[in-house]
Structure 1
Amino acid sequence: MLRSILLLPLIGLVTRSVAATPNISAIFGPSLSSGAQIFLPSQANYTEDVTQRWTTYDAPTYIGAIKPATVDDIQTIVTLAASNEIPFLATGGGHGATITYVNCTNGIEIDLSNFDTISINATANTMTVGGSVRFEDIIPPLYDAGKELPTGTAPCVGLVGATLGGGIGNLQGLHGLILDSLLSVELVTPSGDVVTASTTENADLFWAIRGAGANFGIVTSATYQIYEATNGGEVMSANFLFPGSANRSVWEIFESFDDTLPAALSLTAYAGFNQTTQEMELIVSAVYYGPKEEGVPYLASFTALNATETDLVMVAWPDLIDSMAFGADASACTTGSYLNVWGLGLAETNVDTYTTFFTELEAFAQAHPDYTGIFVVDRYSSEAAAAVPANSTSYGYGYRKINSHLLFENSYTNPSLDGVVNAFMRKSRAQFQRTSGFSEMEIYLNYAHGDEGPEVWYSPQHLPPLSQLKSQWDPDQLFSFNYPVPLA
């Protein structure tokens, strides 16, 4: 059975790389607070003490890590790193996957683990969190307060990091993208200053970070609008396991929802080749935020396919993630795997393209026994997201109308496969693009591979003003490893 899912990213930031290896203890230690910690890779517990990256594919390299204890510490680190020309990346959940990180070599990781506070104001319907808080941290207290906020489906992904790239998930049909719920942030800028950004304060910066945030600073805290829990926080979770031979019928059902998916319903398909059984498998996970008697009729077409295995339960929201895909997503939070990620956004479902790719994926996996990748289709309602004006945030113009988010999660242990995997992915992505319903490539930023370029990441409409703001706020391009915005 399939055992991995991705919901991508975190916060990422940078400076220039250097030839010599600096002594970071000597450079930073004297200026940091007593609560800050410096870690070197040579230390025995480095991997336990420092947040590790979800995938090692083209990962950045570090000469050490610093865990700041205060906002002043972060200001100090940014300022000293810049003056000493030391590259840096700030880490929240650790789910960064873009290949653009490869340019960050011999840098420092700014581990935000100490910024983990959560404060809920149920009366005002707001929640303020620290920069390292993850989805799994906020769901239980929100549920206990009778509230909810859109999240992704990998529990260990950083809330702020996912927000800055957009933030998709099961609740977006009701509440829009995660970034649509963002009210304000406290940010350490490239100059080392601390600023607040909202629609009323530094509004231009607030526009920019909602879609391209990793380019403009380190978010130390963020405030979100929260919502009354749908159906009292009780959710219907249904899973279907199909043999590979049923894939065309499954894609036809997905196509039938292209214009009719209810706001409270989401569908996710996971397809992959089981190297043990030498067979393709296909899981469909359906989530409905409402009573069982309302949700079950929407799944009649899947039920009629006579799945090999079926599971349908009502669960409390905090238990939802564990119930999805027969609980097969545990490895979504396993760090240190070699995962080569690609993605694409679709406006419509072309059954022939899906079926052809399914067959080609099977042949590719059979030809490469070390390959255990999966293909994920996230089908969320775009109703609430599309209702938000396209120019209100820097999230790609028109990308709010994406109906299906494709994620190609290529897992293998032998890096010599990089060339053939990338060639296969490039061809497959192009096939889907031709029948995507979009004239140009459109993609959820957190699912991008990194080779698409700024016009795809941010759209031709939003890139020019983003470049102007980049020139204003980060003219030295200190924050330019994570889907970099070019200067104007």
Structure 2
Amino acid sequence: MVSILSLVLGLACLCHVSLALSGEQVVQDLQRRLSPGSKVVLASDAAFAKDFTPRFSITTPPVFVVAAKPRLVTDVQQIVRYASRNHVPFLATGGGHGYSSTLGRLRHGILLDLGHFDAVEVDAAANTMTVGGAARSVNVSSAVQAAGKEIPVGQCICIGYAGATMGGGIGPYSGLYGTQSDSLLSAEMVTGTGDIVTVSEAEHPDLFYAVKGAGFNYGIATSLTYAVYPATNGGRAVNADMIFPGHLNGSVWRLAASFVGRQPKELSITLAVGYDPKLGGLFLIGNFIYAGPRAQGLDLIQPFLDLKPLNVSISTVEWKDVPAKAVYGHTLAGCTPGAHYVPFAANLYRVDVPSLVSLANYMDEAMSADPALRSTIIAWAQYAPHGFQRHADASSAFPHRDAVVFAQIDGFAEQAAQVPALARFGRDLRRRLQRASGRDALAVYAHFAHGDEAPEAWYSASRLARLRALKAVYDPENLFSYYNPVLGRSGCRAGA
């Protein structure tokens, strides 16, 4: 239900290039160049579906002719150089959860599957963790918890951890520590120039800045090292779920607004607004995660309990299990591949209760009249500012430290024919959220984006000049431009 998705580690293209070489020729060429243990197949082969990472969303998928699974970082380098030299578009994938519609611009390319780069190593004494470019969040959480540590992790457990990091990476513990990228210490990357580089505050600090919020524009991360932190509350958290009838939406919004500016860093608030005739139409699910003693957590959320929700479920869980348990476990729906997913989003910089009540009433009326819209959910992530403000705004390309709420509009279609109606509804809801956001211009967390927004919405107008200048240094051919690109559509090579 609430999916934070994630994603793609490096995205490369030459903008609608037709494959000049045959797929068979590309397979033969790469097989000669890559080390033993690497795998290269045609996308039409049975091995493609069996041995390569499937995409979560198939609404606007990239189209591949060849799939390659490199064993070594030098193999990744060989693929990038080969694809660049032969004008073959490619996409590097970790978890396969990137769902921006910009991915659909890739046609007749190479899937570069980082599946062999999935190691997770925690050095408890040094308070560090090193992961491969395809390590999943669920494996990160398990390894970090076993070491008595914690780190920000999103609410969808099956996404690629590195991919989420390269767009920032937000989750329930962001109130404590900020984004995943705020904990990044260094990364090994293959850039658009075909070079293998290590980025950190000491090495290539300009690229290190860009990696933390816009990294998929510059290369493929194969190994990343992070700081990890001693476990809060013994590594356990209070998880409280509750369901409210739609007519209480105004009361829920007012309570959410009351936490703005005073939300404890240990508390995350997630709301999901949807429609179910069995619940009388519009409903809201509230999820509250508190990284502290149960009594303190219950005291904080008592005003929500006083609204007499239809259902309440409160438990104490291990930190690593928070994403799987939150929102009655519905976040696991985000781990099903092959879905027709229709995402939109808008950051909110205030909680405008009258506008939100109007939005909820509009949703209720629209979904009551049209059952095809009832799979739409608005997901609301409200984190304390403490973690984001621990880090200077100029420390990274992540531009949304002052957002009060990260709002997603998630539409799920059982059939492709339902996508256009959900897209129209999603755009309408996004427009209404934007009007209530407290900002004149749309701002969207890049990993929640639909893909039709301007780069200014993903990266902010104030950061774009710097990010675009870095493209000339680290990706002068603009290979990496299929996932919410900093250059927008205008960055395509002439004649491509």
Give the TM-score band, short-chain normalised.
Answer: over 0.9
Q: Is the 8 A contact 2:245 2:280 kept in 1?
A: no
Correspondence 1:77-476 to 2 at 5 A = 77-274=79-276, 279-371=281-373, 372-396=375-399, 399-476=400-477
Query: What amino acid does structure 1 have at the position aligned with 2:231?
Result: A
Q: CA deviation at 1:375?
A: 1.1
Distance 1:157 1:454 in 2: 23
Q: Is the 8 A contact 1:278 1:366 kept in 2?
A: no
Distance 1:362 1:48 in 2: 42
Cα-to-partner distance string for 1:227-270 (whole Å, 9 max, x where unaligned)? 00001101100000112222221111111111221100001011
Alignment-derived partner of residue 6 in structure 2: 9
Query: What amino acid does structure 2 have at the position aligned with 1:7?
Result: I
Cα-to-partner distance string for 1:259-289 (whole Å, 9 max, x where unaligned)? 2211000010111112666622221010000
**Higher mean C-alpha displacement, 271-280 vs 59-68:** 271-280
**Higher mean C-alpha displacement, 379-388 vs 55-64:** 379-388
Distance 2:280 2:50 in 1: 36
Task: Report the aligned-residue RMSD.
Answer: 1.7
Distance 1:387 1:46 in 2: 44
Q: Is the 8 A contact 1:454 1:484 kept in 2?
A: yes
Q: Is the 8 A contact 1:74 1:188 kept in 2?
A: yes
Match of 1:49 among 43, 48, 51: 51
Q: CA deviation at 1:318?
A: 2.2
| Structure 2 portions without partners, runs of 5+ | none
**Higher mean C-alpha displacement, 204-213 vs 357-366:** 357-366
Query: What amino acid does structure 1 have at the position aligned with 2:383?
Result: Y
Distance 2:472 2:423 in 1: 33
Query: What amino acid does structure 1 have at the position aligned with 2:5?
Result: L
Distance 1:76 1:69 in 2: 11
Q: Is the 8 A contact 2:356 2:436 kept in 1?
A: no
Q: CA deviation at 1:347?
A: 1.2
Distance 1:342 1:12 in 2: 22
Correspondence 1:25-36 to 2 at 5 A = 25-36=27-38
Cα-to-partner distance string for 1:417-470 (whole Å, 9 max, x where unaligned)? 444333332232222222212232222111111111111111111100111111
Q: Is the 8 A contact 2:376 2:422 kept in 1?
A: no
Query: What amino acid does structure 1 have at the position aligned with 2:379?
Result: V
Distance 1:40 1:363 in 2: 48
Distance 1:295 1:465 in 2: 42
Cα-to-partner distance string for 1:282-301 (whole Å, 9 max, x where unaligned)? 21010000010111111111
Distance 2:301 2:371 in 1: 35
What SS does structure 2 have at the residue aligned with 1:401? coil
Query: What amino acid does structure 2 have at the position aligned with 1:423?
Result: R
The TM-score, its normalising length taken from structure 2, stands at 0.94
Distance 1:69 1:455 in 2: 36
Distance 1:276 1:62 in 2: 42
Alignment-derived partner of residue 69 in structure 2: 67
Q: Is the 8 A contact 1:373 1:412 kept in 2?
A: no
Q: Is the 8 A contact 1:131 1:222 kept in 2?
A: yes
Q: Structure 1's 89 and 276: CA in aligned 2 closer, same or farther, altered over 3 A? A: farther
Query: What amino acid does structure 2 have at the position aligned with 1:106?
Result: H
**Higher mean C-alpha displacement, 383-392 vs 58-67:** 383-392
The runs of at least 4 consecutive aligned structure 1 residues that moved more than 6 Å come to: none
Cα-to-partner distance string for 1:389-420 (whole Å, 9 max, x where unaligned)? 21111112xx2010100000011134344443
Q: Is the 8 A contact 1:370 1:414 kept in 2?
A: no
Q: Structure 1's 174 and 484: CA in aligned 2 closer, same or farther, altered over 3 A? A: same
Q: Is the 8 A contact 1:275 1:369 kept in 2?
A: no
Distance 2:336 2:181 in 1: 26
Distance 2:276 2:68 in 1: 41
The TM-score, its normalising length taken from structure 1, stands at 0.95
What SS does structure 2 have at the residue aligned with 1:348? coil
Q: Percent identity?
A: 36
What SS does structure 1 have at the residue aligned with 2:321? helix
**Higher mean C-alpha displacement, 114-123 vs 220-229:** 114-123
Query: What amino acid does structure 2 have at the position aligned with 1:307?
Result: P
Distance 1:117 1:134 in 2: 9
Q: Is the 8 A contact 1:370 1:413 kept in 2?
A: no
Alignment-derived partner of residue 22 in structure 1: 23
Q: Is the 8 A contact 1:212 1:394 kept in 2?
A: yes
